[in-house]
Structures are given as C-alpha cells and as structure tokens.
Structure 1
Amino acid sequence: MANSIMLQGTSSNVGKSILATALCRIFSQDGYQVAPFKSWNMALNSYVTADGGEVGQAQAIQADAAGIEISVDMQPFLIKPKGDGQSQVIVRGRPLGDFGVDRKNPEYIEWAMEIIDDSLQRLSSEYELIVLEGAGSPAEINIKDKDIANMKVAKLNQTPVLLVADIDRGGALAAVVGTLKLLETEERALVKGVILNKFRGDFELLKSGVEILEEKIGKPVLGVIPYLKDIRIPEEDSVSLADFCKEEGEVEIGVINLPHISNFTDFDPLGYEIGVELNYLEADAKLDNYDAIILPGTKNTIFDLNYLHTSGLARKIIAQANAGKTVIGICGGYQMLGKKLVDPDLVEGRISQMIGLGLLDIETTFNREKVTHQVIGRVSSDLGFFKSLKNQIVTGYEIHMGDTKLGDNTQPLFRIESRSKEKVDILDGTYNPNLSVWGTYLHGIFDNDNFRRSFVNSLRREKGLTEDCYSSRSSLEESYDKLAEIIRDNLDMDKIYQIIEEGEIKG
C-alpha cells in the first residue's frame, strides 16, 4: 500500500490544484514514484488519456509534473455541467450519461465509493506515494453526506489531510477555524496541518495571526505560500479567467467567453507569447481592434451558439470575418462557424437544429457517441501561413460529440494519422476561400511551437511588424521546477514527510 497525503480546502479556488502539482513535482524530484488522485471533479477543462479516456486537465498537469502518464484511475469521476441543472457524468474516462443535481442517492454514493476505492487501490499498487486532492470544502453541511470528494475518500485509507485556505480573499483564519469545527471528530483528527495560500505582504504582520490560529485549532500551520506570479501552468477552471494577465501587446487576440466555455487552456500558449495580448471577451466587447477572434470549445454548442445570436456577438463576429479579420474556431467553436448544426437525438439540449454563423462551408450533426482521442496529424494545406507548415506533424486531442462534413469544394487543414495510437486516415478542419476563417477539432493545436509561431507571425506580418521578436513560452518543465522551488522554500517539507510516514508530527 502506497503512502498518501491529501489536500482539502476551506472553499473552492483556494489553490489546491497548484499545490498538488507542486507536491507531485517535489516528491518526484526526491525520488518517489508519485501519482495524483482526485476522486470527483466538476470541470469543463478536460484532457484525453493515451487510451482515449477523459479526465480533468488539472490531474493531467499533476501527472505531467510527476513525470508519469495520466490514467483514468487518477480521476474516476469527472462532471461536466451542461446547463439546466444537467451534467454529463464521466466514469473512468467514459460518459455514463447526463444526470440532474439530485442524482446522488445512497445507492449511487455506495456504488461511486466502490469505484473510487478500486481506482485508489490500483494506484496504490503501482506507485509509492499518492497526492490526493479534494474538491470545494469538506464542511458543506447541507451536502456532506453526499460528498465523495473529500473526507469519505480520506477515511478509506486514513489519509492525512492538509487544509488549505486562501488568505488573499480575506477571512481565511476564520474559515480554517469554522471548517474544523464543522467536521466530525474522526475527520478533524485526520487534518494534520494547515497551509495558508496566496499571501501578499509582510509575514511579520501575519505572524501573530498564525500563532493565535495554531492555539485555537491545536494544529500547526505548515506553510504560508506567497501569491504566485509568472508560473505558467494551466489553470483548472474558468474562475481563473478573471485573473488572466492582460499584458499589453502589439498583437491582440480575443477569445469569446462562452457561457459553457471549455478547455480554455488551449489558448494559454498564445497568452504566454511575448508581445501578444490575450483577452476573454464578453457580449458587450468591441471586436474591431482585435487581430484575431477565437471561438473556443464549449460543453453545450447549441446553447452557446444561441447565446452568440441573441447577444449580438454573432453579428459582430461575422462583420469582422467579412472585413478580412482572422476568425478561428476550436472544437465547438469550429462547429459554430458552419452553416448548420443538427441535433436529431437532442444530445445538446432541446433544440434539434440551428443555423450557424455561416463562415465555413461545413455542417455538423451531433450523435450520442463521444469522440475522445490523443491524435497525431500533419498539416495538409499549403495556403496562407499554413504553406510553411505543409506536412509538418502536429499533436493534440479530440473531445467532441459531433460529425462535421465539409462542403464539396472545401479543403481540410489537417490529415489525422493516429488516434489513440492506432493508425487512421481522417481529415480535420477547414478554412474559407480567403483563409481569414479556419477551424479544427484539435484541442492543444497552439501547444505545437512551430504552428503557434507561424500563426502569430502571420498576424504580425499583417500589421507590418517584424517576426523575430517573439520567443516560445517557457516550457512546462521549467514552470514545474520553479513552482516546486517556491513551495519548498515556504512549506515545511520535513514535517510533511513526517506526516506522510508516521501520520503525526512528533516532538
């Protein structure tokens, strides 16, 4: 049985995921075979495993930081909200179906915990150390009996828990005290220490508060983590979009912030490029000044396409495209750029058919079978900025529930040669006659350095700018190491290891 430690929070967005990423990196650096684990996660940023399973992006990042391949056992339950109280439930990487918020009856909880336990036991037999992450707060009294992300999971193997609080938002010390008071005696005993995260300012001013907190709760504060800056690691969910750095740049790219936006991490590499300003745009945004407009992925294409029409954004996007501005669609955004979307089985909602933006000669039909693959392909177009990329390899992943057919005179952008490590020959993506509008199903397309640089430099050429001032974003490996260094410097790792090995801090 592997050793384990778990991060739980006083609320959502306290920084559990980034701290779990840091611990995965630290333990890996220290020579451990370490794996992440999050039993249940609600998120629209997802990733595809090597065998085609769908998991949360955050756990894929944590596995990457640990130097291992992500597997579905590292996140047995992924919940993807669709709207109207419905969510798609994904179990061990495969869609189970769409269910309402009242799904969690006692039989469901028992069944889910068996699956969670089974996945955790399998990981424990393969790795030396497991870094578990909770979701939200373990002390939500109205849903505590249905919570399969926090204390129920910790109690499976009596995993020691570190409670994380976001001190930047205020009220963190009170939140720690209140959370512990609301836990049951056995649960409270599992909490071995506290981490205060996102601290800005002089520690001397906080020191007395830490001392009072430790006295009140009878547990140590194991670290005060500074507010992290310039750590280029993808965030877990769209709550972080409000914090996205809007650094001024010579090239401006706008991403439409759809109501059900998913996999917005597709665009982080663009935002990290020197000289690029990346903004997420609401319905009242003026699009005229942007050099490129991107329609991102979405968990509900029909709903979000209707939002574009009713909000007036559709009209604005079409006007930009007609003026020759670059408009791009990724996955659901690609589908929206077409002439028509058909949903005969009402997979997306209650509307069976909707007119698209009409910017690409494609039509999409939704079906119940979900396509999830890691893919390898080649650039097939030899026009525009794609010309310099002709036949170059690109990698990415597919997550969609629609089949898109190209018009008779429409050419593809990519030729997919491998799906989930199996050889295929599939066409993907397309563009309009003057190359100002293009789309693809490939998530992660901008992670390909040559592709991203060629795209950004094409925008620079249109503005009469030179191409050579751009550099690639810092590698994830460098970011992981920088993150690990900061957390080591501000977290008592000796006590962390003692907790892991002995369950308590001695002496």
Structure 2
Amino acid sequence: MKNKTGTLMIQGTSSDAGKSLFVTALCRIFARKGIKTVPFKAWNMSLNSYITKNGKEIGIAQALQARAAFRKASVDMQPILVKAMGDGQTQIIIKGEVDRKINYHKKKNNYLEVYENTIKDSLKRLRKDNELVIIEGAGSPAEINRTSPDFANMFTAEIYNSPVLLISSIEKGGCLASLVGTLKLLSPAHKKLVKGLIINKFRGDYNLLKPAVKFLEDYTKKEVMSILPYLKDLNLPEEDSASLNPNNYEENSKKLKIAVIRLPHMSNFSDFNSLKMETDLKLEYIENNENLLDFDLIIIPGTKTTTKDLDFLKKSGLAAEIKKANQAGIMIIGICGGFQMLGRKLIDKHGTEGDIKKINGLGLLDINTKFLNKKTTHQVKVKINLTQQFENLISRFSPQEIFVGYEIHMGQTEYLNETEELFKIIKRSNIKVNLKDGAVNQAGNCFGSYLHGLFDNDNFRSALLNKLRNKQSMGAEQKSYNYQKEIENNLDRLADMVEKNIDINKLLKLSRR
C-alpha cells in the first residue's frame, strides 16, 4: 500500500440524504479489508451527541462511524459541534468542550480563524496516523447562505483536494433534480472536485430509472457510481432528527405502547434506538397535547434547553397529561433534562438554558436542579441502588451488576427529603468515584437518571419491559436481545449492501489521487 494517506469525501444534496450511513458503511468495508480507516466530520450542527472515553463531546454519527472502522471515537474525528438552543442562540463545542469565547453571529476572526485552524489540525493528525480518511459533509454544499466559507463541505474538501461523491435520496422524490441543482450552484472549482454521484434508497425497477441515469450523466458529465437500494429495517443510531420515525409495528392489543415526548429541542434521541428494536412494542413520538393514559410507559428525553422545553410542556398541556398518567399508575421515566423536569424546581441564574431563570418542575420527584456554567461530560459505570420503592424491578439485579452510559448535562441535582438515588456512580471517565445519579418516587412508578444509553444495557431494558409486560398480563416474560450484537450485525449488513453495489477498488484508487 502507498504511504500517502487517502481521503474521500461524501457530501449530500440535503440533510437525511444518507451521508452518515454511507460513510459508516465505507468505514466498515475498508476496515474489514485491513486498511486503517478513520471517519472525519469537520463541522456539525446536531443535538445528538456522544461522550468519548476521555470525557469529550462529539456527534453520535462519528462515534458510530468510528465503531464501524473498529476504532475508538476521538474529538479529532469531529472537532467542531454546534448545538442549537433556539431563538438564534447556539452552543459551540470545540474539540469536545464548550467554548464560550466564540460568538457564532460575529463573522470575524474570533471564530472563523479558530474554526479553520481546528479543522486543519484535526484532519492533519488523522492523516498522519491512518491510511484512509472518509470525510462526511453536512447538509448541502450548495446552501447559498453558507459560502464564506462552508467549513462543513468544500472548505474541508479543498484542504487536501479530496475527491467528493455527491449523494441524494430518491425516497422522497426530487433526487435527480437536486443532484443537477446542487452541481449548478457550485463554483467551477468546487464542481471539479465532485467525481461521482450516488442515488440512495432506491426501491423500484432499475430499468425504469436507467434512462434518467443516462440523462443525468450526459447532462452533468459526472458518473453515477452507484444506485443504492433501500435497506429495510436497518436499526442503527442516527443523528439527524429528519430520520426520526416510529418503529415498525403491527397493531396488536397484546403489545406494549411507549410514548417519547418529542420536545422542541430534544437531544440524544439515539437513547431509544434499543427500544425500537424490541419486537413487541410500539414506540411513538408525541409532540401535541393528547391523552397519554393509553400508554404503558412515558419517557421525557434529554433536551438542549431544559427550562424552555419544560415551559413548552406546561403551555401545551402535556405536563398535565403526564401528571395524570402518573396518578393513574403509568410508568414515567426522565432522561437527563427529562429527569430534571420531573423535580420540584429548576434554577438557572446564569441563563445557561435560556431566558427562564426559575421554573417549577413537574413535582414527581423530590429533587431540585441548579444549572451551572460548566458542562458535565463523562462516560460512566454505575450500580443500581437497592431501594425499596424499586424493589420489584431491582430485585432482578445483583448488587455487583454494572451498567454503563454517559453524562452530558449542565445542571447539578440536589436530593430533598431523604430521596433515594437510582444509581451509584462508581466510575467517571475511568476514575473511581462514589456519587449519586437518578431518583425514584415512593410509588416506584416514576424515576429519572442522567445516564444516556441507559436502555442499551440489555438486562436493565429487559427487566423494565418485563415489569410492564407483567402489569399488562401479556404472558411469559421475554428474554432480551443483545443490543450491541444487533448493532454489529446491522453495521455488517449495511456494509455488505454498499459493497455489493459500488466498485470499492475504484473508490480506493480515487481516494489516492
């Protein structure tokens, strides 16, 4: 193999075109061939994030791509992360940490120069230590409001003159026009970097598409390098909320129904991917006021703006419905910001979460939360606290059983009235600790935790769902599937499909030009 490190960039005609999963597939394909491969995304705007082993925050998609390449996720794979907070406010994360010195709205060297240097430094380090870098763009390279420069796309491609493949999803229509239009809007220099086109999520008869493909190639002078078929029931975490849909489900009165409250600034919805894979439950995302009494479990997820989204719950009437469901004995779970909302009061003197400085919570847990300027970001290991309130669930676990997850939160929680914690944190970023996490109400039908990835722990998820199954008299308890094994199976399935439908050797040769 040549010593020169190859680079190949995947850009899309829009969000949800399939960039992230295509990069994921290429990472697995090349890694399986023994090529030291690594993903890279220079700049990203997403509320779905992941914490690396050393406590740094990156986008969830790059963590999955790193896993596909059999690598540990690092901040160099995704050095700039922007988290939208609404009303024009954003949180800027540079190399895994919040940077309050940068003002996103001032187009001055105070952030442009920082962005440029950060991207170049991270990409340089990745190329030094690897044989192939698969680069993912963001959104579209032809967004006319984002050309000075577009750090996420052509700016990054130009650093090492990386060849670009342009991908578009045919699923929702307009695919061919969006490929033509995107190329039309690119500058001649940027258009020259585009070496091929990819049509994604094709379900029809190729013979009917063939004339359009010929026209596309003749008109654009670009090769259509692959028609990727739609891959049914692919269960992998995604970062783009445009891909957020209920799980596949056939109506059956004997199946569980779970509601996830779709908050306006919901974050880390990948927390529920493991629930989507369960065969006997229906997972719905609820954003409008409706009767929640028909559900077996209601989950309030994490959010980038806890106080603002709590205010939304109250004004929409969903807060009242959640309380009504809790009084009826329905299980309520809060994750991260959702956990904070379940408490008595939320206090934000520094305006960390927005303009609301103080707001009453839902009052279902005896906790208060104060928001600080510093963000808590750790991979953690926990043991369940053997509380009496949770006895019918926790009796299934031994005191030695360990669960894993990660924390991403600004608030610190205070326990009131001798409230019992749900977990004991025993390790944070690989350092031994003895800290509290989560809380349970006296009735045992409401609990919360800061742990993202909680449901990915097979034994915990299985015990919780079996508790709900028993309550609904659904018959014999079900054994949990192995979530991590399913992720690996789906990564290989995705890679197999892409490898079958594209000339991998041509891509490798292209990356080394």
Is the 1:45–1:265 Cα contact (8 Å) retained in structure 2? yes
Post-superposition offset of 1:101: 5.5
Identity within the alignment, %: 47
1:99 shift after superposition:
6.6
| TM-score, normalised by the number of residues in structure 1 | 0.96
Name the counterpart of 1:478.
489
Shift of 1:313: 0.5
In structure 1, which of residues 120, 124, 132 is the aligned counterpart of residue 135 of structure 2?
132
Moved more, 267-276 or 375-384: 375-384
Partner of 2:301: 296
| 1:397 and 2:400 aligned | no
Equivalent in 69, 72, 76 of residue 79 of structure 2:
76
Tell me the CA shift for residue 210 of structure 1. 0.6
Structure 2 distance, partners of 1:146, 1:187, is: 12
* 1:107-136 deviation line (CA, Å, top 9, x unaligned): 532331111000000111111111100001
5+ long unaligned stretches in structure 1: none
**1:229 matched residue in structure 2:** 232
Change (3 A) 1:378 1:9: same
Task: Verify the 8 A CA contact 1:222 1:495 in the aligned structure 2.
Answer: no
Please report how far the alpha carbon of residue 185 of structure 1 lies from its aligned counterpart in structure 2 after TM superposition.
Answer: 1.9
The answer as to 2:506 corresponding to 1:495 is yes
Q: Structure 1 residues 64 and 245, CA, compared in 2 at 3 Å: closer, same or farther? A: same
Distance 2:87 2:340 in 1: 22
Equivalent-residue separation in structure 2 for 1:415 and 1:113 (angstroms):
42
> Corresponding residue for 1:456?
465
- SS for the counterpart of 1:168 is coil
Residue 394 of structure 2: aligned partner: 386
2: CA distance between counterparts of 1:48 and 1:74? 13
CA deviation vs aligned residue, 1:62-92 (integer Å, no higher than 9, x gap): 0011111000010010011001101100000
> In structure 2, do the counterparts of structure 1 residues 467 and 442 end up closer, same or farther at CA, with 3 Å as the change threshold?
farther
Most deviating of 300-309 and 94-103: 94-103
Q: CA deviation at 1:227?
A: 1.5
SS in 2 for 1:294: strand
1:57 alignment partner in structure 2: 60
Between the aligned partners of 1:246 and 1:263, the Cα distance in structure 2 is: 22
Aligned to 1:121: 124
Superimposed CA distance per residue, residues 231-255 of structure 1 (whole angstroms, 9 cap, x where no aligned partner): 1101112221246435546111110
TM-score, normalised via structure 2 length: 0.95
Q: 2:244 maps to which residue?
A: 241
Structure 1 segments of 4 or more deviating over 3 A? 98-101, 103-107, 242-249, 467-471
Q: For 1:46, which of 46, 49, 55 is the aligned residue? A: 49
Match of 1:317 in 2: 322
What is the CA distance between 1:260 and its match in structure 2? 0.5
- Pair 1:308–1:276, CA change in 2 (3 A): same
Query: Contact 2:197/2:223 (CA < 8 Å) preserved in 1?
Result: yes
* Conservation of the 8 A alpha-carbon contact between 2:102 and 2:111: no
C-alpha change, 1:243 and 1:161, in structure 2 (3 Å) is: farther
Is 1:354 aligned to residue 359 of structure 2? yes
Q: CA deviation at 1:387?
A: 1.8
CA–CA distance in structure 1, aligned partners of residues 210 and 331 of structure 2: 52
Equivalent residue for 1:329, pick from 320, 328, 334? 334
**1:95 Cα offset (Å):** 0.3
Distance 1:35 1:149 in 2: 17
* Aligned positions of 1:401-480 closer than 5 A: 401-472=410-481, 473=483, 475-480=486-491
> Cα 1:242–1:447, aligned 2, differ >3 Å: closer, same or farther?
closer
- Runs (5+) with no aligned partner, structure 2: none
Classify 1:107/1:272 alpha carbon distance in 2 versus 1 (closer, same or farther; 3 Å).
Answer: same
Q: Choose the corresponding residue for 2:221, options 218, 225, 228.
A: 218
How many Å apart are 1:230 and its aligned residue? 1.3
